[in-house]
Structure 1
Amino acid sequence: MTPKFPNSQLLAAFPCLSAITPEEWAEAQPTVRTFPVKSFIFQREDAASYGMFLLSGTARISRIGEDGSEFVISTLTAGQVCALLVLSGLSGRDYPGTITAESEVEALFVAKHSFLGWLQTHADIRGAVFGGLLDGLLRISEQSEERRLESLNARLSKALLRTSSEQKPLLNVTHQELAAEIGSAREVVSRALRRFRHQGWIETGRGWVRIIRRDELASQLSD
């Protein structure tokens, strides 16, 4: 579908598009497409021809490994532009991922030369897109940290369970000793133990840890 311009749906998701002139809009050959759940919205070959603005729904940005495994980099919601798409376009490099619909999605596609031209000539669009790009990179960093913490939680839980039992829930162990065992820093282990304590899974004191909820610790091993 070729959207009229100006269009209330487009401007609701991307107010910055109001900077576009009718001539620029026509030159961009815009189309709005609807995608069902789990369908590919954007793939590597599309990046050579199009820029994309997500108008509604949610999508995930992934990289597919050589063995076919999927690694989810980040998520995209209405009003956002994929950071990888912007960076690959500006650098002239191939787009390194795929975008898949997690719900029904509507997306605006415009010609790549127009997409990149708008970034260079319209401050409002540049500010909105690069602001979103920064937010996207921060989200990727936060998600990487969450994954790292999940891995730490699993390692720490395994260490606590390995050296205790239902009959002997008390461990005489320091934070430094636990950190050395799981290959982490003492400060990191201390923060993780505080989280466990606040959740009611353990009790702690100077040089000891008492296991209260073995089932909760065991659940961390399957995350």
Structure 2
Amino acid sequence: MSDTAQLAARYPVLDALPPAVRARVEAAARWMHIPAGALVFDDCQACEGFPFVVEGSLRVLKCAPNGRELPLYRVTPGETCIISSSCLLGHEDYNARGITESDTLLMLLPKAVFDELLGEPAFRGFVFHLFAERIADLMQLIEAVAFQRLDQRLAALLLGKGQVLHVTHQQLADELGSVREIVSRLLKGFAEQGLVRLGREQVEILDPAGLRRLAAGGH
């Protein structure tokens, strides 16, 4: 399947555009093959276009001056990056960082063409519908960070990923916006309670019901 065909399969809204508009999109498209772990955009960088993720995924995060990171959301094929869209709509620079999680194929739509597409009801509805969904996700993140203990958030993170997680303490800390030492201490406590068994770059879930109680605020 060609890159253009993959794009249409991932983003059916493009097929709802008038033929002349679709042709304008295809002519202006900037295709980018980006390796895993590459920086796609960063704080204070100008936003040059609207990214369509065709393959792979991006991790969008907020970075503090001390090096700590808070993951905001992931962008997978068929989804949109609200940081990019908000920067384009508000004519502002990026205020977060985007990094590829795996080898990624992007189609970047230049700002001028993005502005034109907002005049098309189908595309405008697509952008703002996903915008609303992502804002709801971010509100849940804010609620978790503000009102839940870190042990609750760690318990919730461990659940739903299978019985055995092949993950480092640093990776868990990155996902939680914390530091490795604190996460390691919490995991040790979980192990002492019989909730998990720890191995090298591995966490085995022994008591999922206990983790669920902890994630819900119990002890």
- Report the TM-score, using the length of structure 1 for normalisation: 0.60
- The secondary structure found in structure 1 opposite 2:94 is coil
Query: Match for residue 128 of structure 1?
Result: 126
Identity %: 20
Matches within 5 A, 1:1-223: 7-18=4-15, 19=17, 21=21, 23-25=23-25, 29-44=28-43, 47-119=46-118, 121-148=119-146, 150-151=148-149, 199-200=209-210
Question: How many matched pairs?
Answer: 157
In structure 2, distance between residues paired with 1:9 and 1:81: 16
Give 1:42 deviation, angstroms: 2.6
Give 1:57 deviation, angstroms: 1.8
Deviations 1:39-65 (A, max 9, x none): 112335664322211112221111222
Give 1:200 deviation, angstroms: 4.8
Residues 57, 100 of structure 2: 8 Å contact kept: yes
In the superposition, relative to structure 1, how do residues 58 and 91 fare at CA in structure 2: closer, same or farther (>3 Å)? same
Query: Match for residue 165 of structure 1?
Result: none
User: Bigger relative contact order, structure 1 or 2, given CA contacts below 8 A and separation 6+?
Assistant: 2
- The secondary structure found in structure 1 opposite 2:108 is strand
In structure 2, distance between residues paired with 1:116 and 1:108: 16
Deviations 1:161-199 (A, max 9, x none): xxxxxxxxxxxxxxxxxxxxxxxxxxxxxxxxxxxxx93
Identify unmatched segments of 5+ residues in structure 1.
155-197, 204-215
Give 1:135 deviation, angstroms: 1.0
Q: Which amino acid aligns with 2:128?
A: F
Q: Which amino acid aligns with 1:24?
A: R
Give 1:124 deviation, angstroms: 0.9
Larger Rg: 1
- The secondary structure found in structure 2 opposite 1:12 is helix
